[in-house]
Chain A
């Protein structure tokens, strides 16, 4: 079975400071990993994904994430937070080795960027 954990329900960061939103995963095979962002009353927007290759993945709006196989983590980062980054962030995993088509989401982390 595949699962995702986002250990923090909420992250607060001052505008201009670096931000990190944590994600760890569990799969029996090789993971495909995704980050999505959700603004209030809106659908999920794709930010970035890791499939294979370079462990550091760059995505939309200046976000990046680092795949760490030994720690089974895929933390989302941004060097300088903006107030407009305030939203709900979801990490998701698919176990491609197991042939799984299902995308399993974490519970989400609410990011608040304080002016």
Chain B
């Protein structure tokens, strides 16, 4: 049973545009929601993470929006660049980032066209 649902499966955005990836979760005990970026042949790398006590977190061009009542969170990439082309995974954990296991979504393959 998938506990984190991610959409869309793939996304094509023009350079300079906004990329938006959405995730929904089921387990209300989750308390840590990270986004990972993965390039081909590489392991996932943490991009940005949020906890349910805030509704938004911004780091540079990357923003997480979190809606606790709807059990949804999303990643916004502003001014998307060709170098952002990668697969993005949302995840959730019940015990924080380092001790608990992460439940990953199925991923979104982002292509940013020049």
Whether A and B are associated in the same complex: the answer reads no
